[in-house]
């Protein structure tokens, strides 16, 4: 299976139509040897200071700068994002080849 991850559902729909992945599943399109899924632009964000340590929960000038040993990301706490992330994760675990696709930049007129 080949997997294509796009930045949003409309791009996934367009790519799926072009490559023949015409069967709609929950969170992705499938067809031939392809699965095409999508994110919602921002499924994840940088961790907040308090995600690293409780010492950074209250803000004060004396604790600045707050620089963790390694920056991390976390899934945005929205049910639809969590469901789509689970779909993407399950598809990533299965393919032999995968790629990403984004919309072309719009030109200013």
Task: Read off the tokens for 44.
Answer: 């994840």
CA angle 103/82/73 to nearest 5° reads 75
Task: Read off the tokens for 40.
Answer: 């919602």
Q: What does the pLDDT look like over 76-106, one tens digit per residue?
A: 999 999 999 999 999 988 766 666 666 665 5
Q: What does the pLDDT look like over 27-46, one tens digit per residue?
A: 999 999 999 999 987 889 99
> Would you state the pLDDT for residue 109?
45
pLDDT band for 59, please (50, 70, 90 cuts): confident
> Would you state the pLDDT for residue 93?
87
Tell me the pLDDT of the chain averaged across its residues: 88
């Amino acid at each position: 299976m080949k997997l294509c991850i796009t930045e949003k559902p409309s791009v996934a729909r367009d790519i799926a139509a072009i490559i023949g992945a015409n069967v709609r599943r929950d969170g992705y399109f499938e067809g031939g040897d392809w699965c095409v899924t999508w994110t919602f632009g921002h499924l994840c964000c940088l961790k907040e200071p308090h995600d690293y340590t409780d010492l950074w929960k209250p803000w004060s000038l004396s604790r600045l700068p707050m620089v963790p040993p390694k920056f991390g990301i976390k899934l945005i706490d929205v049910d639809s994002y969590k469901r789509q992330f689970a779909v993407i994760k399950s598809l990533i675990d299965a393919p032999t080849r995968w790629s990403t696709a984004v919309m072309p930049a719009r030109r200013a007129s």
